[in-house]
Amino acid sequence: MKEKTDVLQGTLALMALKTLDVLGPLHGYGIARRIEQISGDLLTVNQGTLYPVLLKLEQEGSIASEWGVSENNRKARFYRLTRDGRKQLQAETRGWEQTAAIIGRFFAAKAEDLK
Amino acid sequence: MRMLRRFLKRLSSWTKIQQNEERLRAEIEEHLAFQTAENVRAGLSAAEARRQAVLKFGAVEAIREGYRDQRGFPFLETLIRDTRHALRGLRKAPAFTATTILTLALGIGATTSIFTLVHAVLLKSLPVANPGELYRLGKEARCCYWGGYSLEKEFSLVSYDLYKHFRDNTRGFAELAAFQAGQSLFGVKRAGRAEPAQSYPGEFVSGNYFTMFGIRAYAGRTFTANDDRAGAPPVTVMSYRLWQQRYGGDPSVIGSIFNLNEKPFTVVGIAPPGFFGDRLRSDPPDFFLPLNTEPFVDAADPDLNKHDLHWLDLIGRIRPGAKPASMEAEMRVELKQWLRSHWGEMSANDRAKFPHQTLFLRPGGAGISSMREEYEHWLQILMMVSGFVLLIVCANVANLMLVRGMERRRQISLSMALGAQAPRLVRQALTECIMLSLSGGAAGLAIAFAGTHLILHFAFPQVNGMAGIPIDASPSMPVLLFAFGVSLLTGIAFGIAPAWMATRVDPIEALRGASRSTARTGSRARKTLVVVQAALSLVLLSASGLLTAALHKLESQNFGFDQDRRLVANISPMLAGYRAEQLTPLYQRIHDSLSSIPGVSAVALCIYSPLDDNNWSTDIWVDGRPAPGPNDDNSASWDRVTAGYFEVIGNPILRGRSISEQDTATSRHVAVVNEAFARKFFKDEDPIGKHFGQNGVGSEREYEIVGIAKDARYLHSGLGKPVGPLFFLPEAQHDVFPADKSNEASPGSHFLHDIVIVTRPGASLSDAQLSRAMASVDPNLPVISIRTLKEQVAFQFTQQRLIARLTSFFGILSLVLASIGLYGVTAYNAGCRTNEIGVRIALGANRSHIVTLVLRGAFGLIFFGLLIGLPLTFAAGRFLGSQLYGLNPYNPAVTLIAVVALGLSALAAALIPAFRASSISPLEALRAE
């Protein structure tokens, strides 16, 4: 069994927001699929876990949803990013980049740098 | 902002739960359809494609739950659902539910009922306006009269003159009121009615007493400053209780004349219901009288204008913004000024002590807290004891819950296998516990109400017609809150561990069948609980043993007088309006009249009969010795008695003679002293023939000692200590020093209170016979009470007896609970080992071997309980300390009895499961799953 990486609380939400930002309105399955593809199967998460996250985002006003028809003519619920959501995404992206940069610098540091 | 939006969303989504459920269901269905289609494209069969899709999606129920948590108010909904679930579960196990609730009710009830008393006596403020603004003079409560211009430690009582000095000079007080520290009984009769006088307690208070407390009259009016002025028409305020109980709320009482000690007073108003005066006490006053009527009532020996007689307590309401600390400093200066102004009247000793005289100002919202000081330690003990009982109850219920948890292991495993989350299961179990404990708390309130009633009834026996202690047994808001808090705490305390343990089951293991496994989950926790219970109940048992032994020692001690065939009747010639010179003939008439009743063998009168718990103390001057210095202790108590008193009370005279008929008003003034007096003042000398006096320098030759009586106990306080010095004077003799008779030091001492009557062996004397004989002397002289000397002695131990009984009750309760706990654990463990025992029997173990096996397990627990309990027991003994009246707290007999009691009940609790285990049929045991 491949080692799973636990999804940090809130990370899934950020991934969902980014997916919607890049791809525009999408249904739940589509979002799940993209997250899976991009994380390259390193991140194994039950797809169902996504739905409570979507509901939470919707309640916070970051995304909105409505019933529509999918590319293969199925009825599906489509989610799209709202203005608030876009702002939230930008803010959180900056936050992540900073964190990642800091952690990265730590990993790059050699013993002599820390003296 | 986001929070608010979420809240609104939740609110709206809560209203359309069905719609949401539908939405989720549809979305899941769509999702699975997409995934299945994808899988089919990847080349899987239709069925396999669907299966893979579902697997990938994850546990639908858990996701649904996560989804639900995002909308509506999941906490509330879960709570409702859990409550419903718990109710259903409890209904299915009525025996368990009933046992648990009953056990909890006992524990919570006991604690709450003690807390009701703690709250009323230790925590509550007086029922007056803004008690936080009230400040009282003095750190400790004192009774009743203190004399002189120097007081030990602090001026907590003041004379009327000193009160006026403080009142007129301390600006920080909006009102400063003074009132009597003790209280008096008054012979009360409504004027113009042909009813005998009845005695009720009354209290002298300053004119601003009610104003200071912010108390308005229920009907009529309270006092004004004009009522408390020399020469003002005498008025009084009656208590609501007396007005209702005796006069049925008759409005004509207001404005009518009542005779108090034969002096006419106009009742101007009724105090409001619930107002019980300035302190909590068992006999709150029924009449309030202005201070300035004191000389009118007590014309023979008025106290009001004696500058050096301190008999008033002070409570004042401070002005907003006034600083009590600076007021205290100000009043200390005022005290010194006042003492300086009386320099001429001060004795040499008073002057020597002048620099040390001080006073303290303390918060007075609770009034004068004499009861607080008296009962604090007792209540602490009771609170501890009931807390221990509650702990045992918690342990017991936790045990029951654990068993229940074990029995439900399969159910829980199944739930977990189906995807239930551990926190949810814990929450469910906790909900059940809290529901149980809240029901237990509700039932406990009922028990607490009954219990408080019972305790009050025993602790403060109500005297006919008098007000009882103003403590309400019905739960007040703080008590309700307390009971609720305790219930909640116990629920969490006994529920959380079992709930947590229940979820730590391995589903596979549990479903496979617990009975075959040898590892018994939770058995260590259950054993620990039993060990704790055993330890706690050992502590309670030995504490109750110690208190009972101390009580027995108190009651069976040699008091130095005879209790058999002796009656004590209380009278009050002062209430009936007698004057000092009429007293000696009155006593003679009483003596003659009572002696003539058939069956009576002897009669004598005295101020204080033994152990009626009162005392008159004084300083004495011994002839031929230098006057005592400021630090010399020359105090002694005294009593005034009629001829033949020592014979009547059965107090042997060791040397010399007793007080007899030959001691008349004109004969040589004599005194009989007790052994302690002789030891204290004469050491190795022979006291007979020596002289002493009690009225200061010049009075040293007042009394000649003619006899030494054996030490007899008169005072209840200091029961564990030796009897103090005491001297007896003949009633017929009046002090001649100072020569001016009007200044006789204590003319009041000739008003004797107690008649002691000895009956012939086998004779019985009815109260009616006594009352008739007394009525033939004077129908207006009421007999206040009649009781046997035995009852009077026993009355002194009411408190000790109550505490000993309560503690014993709690001890036995805890023993029973611990036994039930032990029984439960032993029975359960034996049940788990059915297989093993079956195998052992099949392999040839005999029955007694099995019994020993089970008993060994049970007694192992008890042994550990003793190990923990014994040191705690000694600590408890130390804590009881002074309440044991000199009994050694390390009492091996008491500890041994407690250990044996614990051992025996453990044996009883363990034998039943042991025998049941030994009668297991090996075949059945092996066949059983």
For chain B, percent of residues with pLDDT exceeding 90: 9
CA dihedral B509, B513, B514, B519 (to 10 degrees): -50
Give pLDDT, residue A4.
43
Residue in B with minimal Cα distance to A75? B30
Look at residue B706 and give its three-state secondary structure.
strand
- Distance between CA atoms of residues B251 and B270, nearest Å: 10
- CA separation, residue B202 to residues A36, B188, B236, B284, B487 (Å): 90, 10, 10, 8, 43
Q: Which of B10, B26, B58 minimises the CB distance to A47?
A: B58
Q: Do B69 and A52 touch (CB under 8 A)?
A: yes
Query: How many contiguous H segments (helices) and E segments (strands) does chain A have?
Result: 4, 3
Give pLDDT, residue A2.
37
Min Cα–Cα distance to chain A from B824, Å: 44
Q: Which of B9, B26, B57 minimises the CB distance to A46?
A: B57
Q: Do B5 and A48 touch (CB under 8 A)?
A: no
- Distance between CA atoms of residues B612 and B634, nearest Å: 24
B299 touches chain A (CB under 8 A): no
Tell me the per-residue pLDDT of B581-640, one tens digit each, with 9 for 90 and over. 888 889 999 999 989 888 888 999 998 888 876 777 788 888 888 777 767 778 888 899
**Interface probe with A: pick from B67, B69, B421, most Cβ of A within 10 Å:** B67
- Letter for the amino acid at B419? G
Q: State CA B442 to chain mean position distance.
A: 23
Give the mean pLDDT of B765-774. 84
Give pLDDT, residue B642.
92
Q: Which of B2, B56, B67 minimises the CB distance to A51?
A: B67
Residues of B in contact with A48 (CB under 8 A): 28, 31, 57-60, 63
Structure tokens given for B373: 């000081």
Min Cα–Cα distance to chain B from A92, Å: 16
Structure tokens given for B534: 């055993």
Binning pLDDT at 50, 70 and 90, where does residue B706 land?
very high
Residues of B in contact with A77 (CB under 8 A): 23, 26-27, 30
Residues of A in contact with B26 (CB under 8 A): 75, 77
Which stretch of B218-227, B730-739, B759-768, B789-798 has the lowest confidence by average pLDDT?
Answer: B730-739
Residues of B in contact with A30 (CB under 8 A): 34
Please check whether residue B665 is in contact with residue B584, taking contact to mean a CB–CB distance below 8 angstroms: yes
Tell me the per-residue pLDDT of B797-849, one tens digit each, with 9 for 90 and over. 777 787 888 888 888 888 888 888 788 778 877 777 777 888 888 888 888 88
Give pLDDT, residue B741.
47
Structure tokens given for B299: 């014309």
Evaluate the CA torsion angle B636, B642, B644, B647 in order and state its sign: negative
Min Cα–Cα distance to chain A from B906, Å: 53
Structure tokens given for B426: 């814990």
Q: Which of B5, B6, B63 minimises the CB distance to A51?
A: B63
A 10 A CB-CB count for B597 gives: 17
Min Cα–Cα distance to chain A from B123, Å: 49
Q: Which residue has the higher pLDDT, B11 or A39?
A: A39
Min Cα–Cα distance to chain A from B497, Å: 28
Q: Is A37 exposed, middle or buried (0-12, 13-18, 19+ CB in 10 A)?
A: exposed
Please check whether residue B23 is in contact with residue B37, taking contact to mean a CB–CB distance below 8 angstroms: no
Give the mean pLDDT of B78-106. 82
Q: Which residue has the higher pLDDT, A6 or B464?
A: B464
- Distance between CA atoms of residues B672 and B726, nearest Å: 9
Q: Do B30 and A74 touch (CB under 8 A)?
A: yes
Whether this model's pTM surpasses 0.80: no
Residue in B with minimal Cα distance to A69? B30
**Interface probe with A: pick from B4, B34, B64, B73, most Cβ of A within 10 Å:** B34
Which residues are CB-contacts of B243 (< 8 A; sequence separation ≥ 6)? B219, B249, B250, B253, B270
Q: Is B98 exposed, middle or buried (0-12, 13-18, 19+ CB in 10 A)?
A: exposed
A 10 A CB-CB count for B92 gives: 9
- Distance between CA atoms of residues B139 and B137, nearest Å: 7
Q: Do A61 and B5 touch (CB under 8 A)?
A: yes
Q: Which residue has the higher pLDDT, A5 or B922?
A: B922
Bridge partners of residue B433, in order along the sequence = none
Which stretch of B193-207, B312-326, B410-424 has the lowest confidence by average pLDDT?
Answer: B410-424
Q: Which residue has the higher pLDDT, B505 or B558?
A: B558
Q: Which of B9, B13, B57 minimises the CB distance to A48?
A: B57
Element (H, E) at B190: strand B184-190
For chain B, percent of residues with pLDDT exceeding 70: 90
Tell me the per-residue pLDDT of A22-71, one tens digit each, with 9 for 90 and over. 888 888 888 888 888 887 766 666 777 888 888 888 888 888 888 888 77
Chains A & B: contacts with CB separation below 8 Å: 72
Q: Which of A58, A61, A77 minimises the CB distance to B27?
A: A77
- Distance between CA atoms of residues B194 and B180, nearest Å: 31
Asked if omega into B922 is within 30° of 0 (cis), the reply is no
- Distance between CA atoms of residues B308 and B339, nearest Å: 10
Binning pLDDT at 50, 70 and 90, where does residue B464 land?
low
Q: Do A28 and B27 touch (CB under 8 A)?
A: yes
B890 touches chain A (CB under 8 A): no
Tell me the per-residue pLDDT of B105-161, one tens digit each, with 9 for 90 and over. 888 888 888 888 888 877 777 788 888 888 998 887 777 778 778 777 888 889 999
A 10 A CB-CB count for B708 gives: 22
Give pLDDT, residue A1.
35
Tell me the per-residue pLDDT of B467-515, one tens digit each, with 9 for 90 and over. 667 777 777 778 788 878 887 887 777 777 777 776 666 666 655 654 4
Could you write out the three-class secondary structure of B68-89? HHCCCCHHHHHHHHHHHHHHHH
Q: What is the DSSP string of B604-661?
A: EEES--TTSS--EEEE-EETTSPPP-TT---EEEEEEE-TTHHHHHT--EEEE----T
Give pLDDT, residue B507.
62
Give pLDDT, residue A3.
42
Nearest by Cα to B661 from B641, B689, B678, B675: B641
- Distance between CA atoms of residues B48 and B35, nearest Å: 12
Nearest by Cα to B158 from B30, B41, B303, B375: B303
Give the mean pLDDT of B199-228. 89
Tell me the per-residue pLDDT of B837-877, one tens digit each, with 9 for 90 and over. 888 888 888 888 888 888 888 888 889 889 988 888 888 88
CB < 8 Å from A in window 41-70 of B: 56-60, 63, 66-67, 69-70
Q: Do B58 and A46 touch (CB under 8 A)?
A: yes
